[in-house]
Chain A
Amino acid sequence: KAGVTQTPRYLIKTRGQQVTLSCSPISGHRSVSWYQQTPGQGLQFLFEYFSETQRNKGNFPGRFSGRQFSNSRSEMNVSTLELGDSALYLCASSLGTGAIREQYFGPGTRLTVT
């Protein structure tokens, strides 16, 4: 079955702009989680969506937001971009119910803010 897909794979934006990243989970998966990965901070949890509702939220400012659609696809938005937002943004999908076993990560979107 097809894996987790993320679009776009690479993105260059300017400070102050906003950006929207997209994640399509594995068919049948209802949970999508987002992570930010930087060399300094490592992998940090942003938020998780399950059945169109935010179920968990990490410690990020309100400029970071997300949503999930009825087909489980998810988007995350970053407004008023800062240089420090340059990172690899990863999404992961899982069934979302019962005991969660593995999560499947996508290849990521590499965002560069100049």
Chain B
Amino acid sequence: DAKTTQPTSMDCAEGRAANLPCNHSTISGNEYVYWYRQIHSQGPQYIIHGLKNNETNEMASLIITEDRKSSTLILPHATLRDTAVYYCTLGSGNTGKLIFGQGTTLQVKP
């Protein structure tokens, strides 16, 4: 299974953009990149996903490099409620199996 690598922790000032990087250099051609976040040991919450094109929704933007070996999740205006562990995961897109990395703990500070 392909693996993801993320920084252990990051800080971001409230109101600023948070840019969370993820390395997935062994990603397969049919694997999607999914981002989830987990707050206070609740169940993870879906944020966004993509295959090769950049994606944007009401929560975030996902930038995937042309070679698909890395991606960046962008939270455009971070709030204190965005403090969480963010997981970059890989999935085939047609099954429920997700391979989670260790995640990045994002601390949004006032």
**CB within 8 Å of B: which residues of A?**
4, 31-33, 35, 42-45, 48, 50, 55-56, 58, 88, 90, 92, 94, 96, 98-108
Contacts and interface: CB of A to CB of B under 8 A. Distances in A.
Contacts of B96: 31-33, 48, 50, 55-56, 92, 94, 96, 100, 103
A106 B45 CA distance: 9
A42 B101 contact: yes
A42 B56 CA distance: 27
17 contacts: A31-B95, A33-B98, A35-B98, A35-B100, A43-B87, A44-B100, A45-B99, A96-B96, A98-B94, A100-B96, A101-B46, A102-B46, A103-B96, A105-B43, A105-B45, A107-B42, A107-B43
Contacts of B44: 43, 90, 92, 105
Contact of A104 (B42, B46, B94, B101): B46
Contacts of A55: 95-96
- Report, nearest first, the 3 A-B pairs whose CB atoms are least far apart: A105-B43, A102-B46, A33-B96
Interface residues of B, number: 21
The SS class assigned to the A binding surface is strand
B24 interface: no
Nearest to A45: B97
Nearest to B103: A42
Nearest to A31: B96
A105 B41 CA distance: 12
B43 A92 contact: yes
B100 A56 contact: no
